[in-house]
Amino acid sequence: MSSHRCWVYGDNVNTDVIFPGKYTYTLKTPEEIAAHALEDLDSTFAANVRRGDVIVAGQNWGCGSSREQGVTAPKYAGVDIIIAASFSRIYFRNCINQGVLPIVCPGLNTLVQTGDAIEIDITNGQIHAAGQTFTFPRLSPSVQAILDAGGLVPMLQRRFAGESQP
């Protein structure tokens, strides 16, 4: 069980406002990318987010462009868990591959407000918030394995390191 401060957003938030397209080929370092997280959605986010904070969003979070900075920008800014009523499919995959836990939990974003604290119990698949308990579905074993490895890159690093050894 861990406690997290929430940043709460609505439905159909797209990756153009999470990380503007004009930066995608020029900003490279985690610090540069984190500085523009959610820039056109919430101008207070990048300056005030703290490690361990979570995003709590509505339906179809992360729709639009496939750009991976949609996940890495909040991740580099300190967000390791993103909760949404539903995710766009590429965004969901990008979360797994970056080692960010995507939790599907419909309705939570209408019950909590930015700044509220919620409790997340990953082992038992539960969220305690607004005086209620929510359960969230487990990931399939093959997908969980990527997350457990810390993301797709660390998982493949192990695979290729193994292949290069005699």
Partner 1 sequence: MSGKTFVEKALARAAGVSEASAGDILDVRPDLIFSHDNSAAIRRIFEKIGAKNIARPDRVAITLDHAVPAPTTQHAQNHAEIREWIKQQSIQHFFEVGRGICHQVISEEALILPGETILGADSHSTHFGWLGAFGAGVGRTEMAALWATGELWLRVPEAMRVTLTGRLQSGVTAKDISLRILGDMGVEGGLYRSVEFAGDTLSTLSLDERPILPNVMAEFGAKNAYMPPDDMVFNYLEARRTRDYTPLYPDPDAHYEIEYALDVSQLEPQIALPHQPDNVVRLSDAIGEPVQQAFIGTCTNGRLEDLQAAADVLRGHQVACRLVVIPASSQVLLEATRSGIIETLLMAGATIATPGCGPCMGNHMGIPAPNEATVSSANRNFKGRMGTPEAPVYLASPYVVAASAICGAIADPREFLS
Site of interaction with partner 1 (CB under 8 A):
11-12, 14, 16-17, 20-22, 24-26, 28, 39-40, 59-60, 63-68, 71, 86, 88-90, 93-94, 97-98, 140, 142-143, 151-153, 156-157, 160-161, 164
String of DSSP letters for 132-146: EEEE-PPPPHHHHHH
For residues 12 and 126, which CB has a smaller minimum distance to partner 1 in the complex? Answer: 12
Q: At what angle do helices 89-97 and 69-76 cross, to 10 degrees?
A: 50
Query: Rounded distance, CA 55 to CA 76, Å?
Result: 13
For residues 15 and 129, which CB has a smaller minimum distance to partner 1 in the complex? Answer: 15
SS3 87: strand
Query: Rounded distance, CA 130 to CA 119, Å?
Result: 10
Q: What's the min distance (Å) between Cβ of 3 and partner 1?
A: 30
Q: What's the min distance (Å) between Cβ of 1 and partner 1?
A: 30
For residues 1 and 145, which CB has a smaller minimum distance to partner 1 in the complex? Answer: 145
Q: What's the min distance (Å) between Cβ of 81 and partner 1?
A: 18
Burial of 1: CB neighbours in 10 Å, binned 0-12, 13-18, 19+: exposed
Q: What's the min distance (Å) between Cβ of 120 and partner 1?
A: 24
